[in-house]
Amino acid sequence: MAEATCARIAALTGQPVTDLTPLHGGDLSPVLCATLADGTRVVAKTGPLVGVEARMLHSMHAAGCTVPRLIGCDADLLVMDHILEVPASGTGWAALGQNLRRLHARTGDGYGWGDDYAFGPAPIPGGMMTDWPAFWGERRLLAFADALPADIAHRVEGLCARLPDILPHRPPAALLHGDLWTGNVIFTDGGAYLIDPACCHGDPEVDLAMLHLFGTPPAAFHDAYGPLAPGWQDRRPAYALWPALVHLRLFGASYRGLVTGCLSALGA
């Protein structure tokens, strides 16, 4: 075991650590499962932005969203409850729909988030704006344009000039998870927990677009979440484009087709 990490976990939990093992995932931040002296298991996540993540989880909890309980946090270590995962079921998907609807019901006065964040080398600029298409273009689609292939960056820049014609100017400034795919959902016997957020306030369709980009939620989810605003089909590629760009930035050319598919769907 890494003695220094165990000592820090013990300081935050008040118990010695008897076992420490890596958890699956952790592509961008190491994630560990620690067993404490009384047999309780906790999750420990390390990285320079865990304090921002803790504040995001706190905001989600305050909105009535089910997230793991935060136990403690220091400069670069976050400790939270370990949640026992079970296979997804119709009941679990319905719980996710209800959870997400509660999250999106918490609205803010503008679009964005107070802190800068990042997915590894892909920056997620903080700060608040009052114009939604401008926010989505400047703070998301163009946030790391200089690191994209030149032809892709050129197409994205052209699209951003047209976003006022594609996206609503003042949608509800819903509290968003911001990185919603099934890998960031823990289904349990009692519901569905959301983890690993990249929160901001924005159009709730952002979360739904990403959830559908890498999967197909069943009818139980849609029934629980409720109907979407008319025209969502036309907006979805603009919202799916950002996670596609993030994957291109982080994992390379295998995601180029996903990006160009979104751009082509938008006539860009």
Q: What is the per-residue pLDDT across 224-257, written as a single tens digit (0 to 9) for each? A: 999 999 999 999 999 999 999 999 999 999 999 9
Spatial distance between the Cα atoms of 174 and 225, rounded to a whole number of angstroms: 14
pLDDT band at 120 (very low <50, low <70, confident <90, very high): very high
pLDDT band at 26 (very low <50, low <70, confident <90, very high): low
Residue type at 41?
Answer: R
* Range scoring the smallest mean pLDDT among 20-24, 33-37, 124-128, 226-230: 20-24
Find residue 202's DSSP bridge partners.
174
Contacts of 119 (CB under 8 A, 6+ apart): 28, 179, 198, 246, 250
Is the distance from CB of 102 to CB of 133 less than 8 angstroms? no
Spatial distance between the Cα atoms of 110 and 91, rounded to a whole number of angstroms: 34
pLDDT for 25 equals 64
Pick the CATH number of 3-81 from 3.40.50.300, 3.90.79.10, 1.10.10.10, 3.30.200.20: 3.30.200.20
List of E strands, the chain = 17-22, 31-36, 41-46, 70-73, 77-81, 111-113, 117-119, 122-124, 127-129, 174-176, 185-188, 191-194, 200-202
Residue type at 94?
Answer: A
pLDDT band at 190 (very low <50, low <70, confident <90, very high): confident
Contacts of 6 (CB under 8 A, 6+ apart): 16, 17, 20, 34
CATH 3.90.1200.10 at 90-265, yes or no: yes
Q: Which of 27, 115, 165, 179 is catalytic?
A: 179
Mean pLDDT for the stretch of residues 125-147: 98
**pLDDT > 80? residue 125:** yes
Find residue 112's DSSP bridge partners.
128, 201
Whether 179 is a known active-site residue: answer: yes
Mean pLDDT for the stretch of residues 163-177: 97
Percent of residues, the chain, with pLDDT higher than 70: 98
pLDDT for 27 equals 60
* More confident of the two residues 25 and 167: 167
Spatial distance between the Cα atoms of 101 and 87, rounded to a whole number of angstroms: 22
Question: At 107, which helix (H) or strand (E)?
Answer: none
Six token digits for residue 251: 């994992």
What residue segments make up the domains of the chain, in order of their start? 3-81, 90-265
pLDDT for 29 equals 77
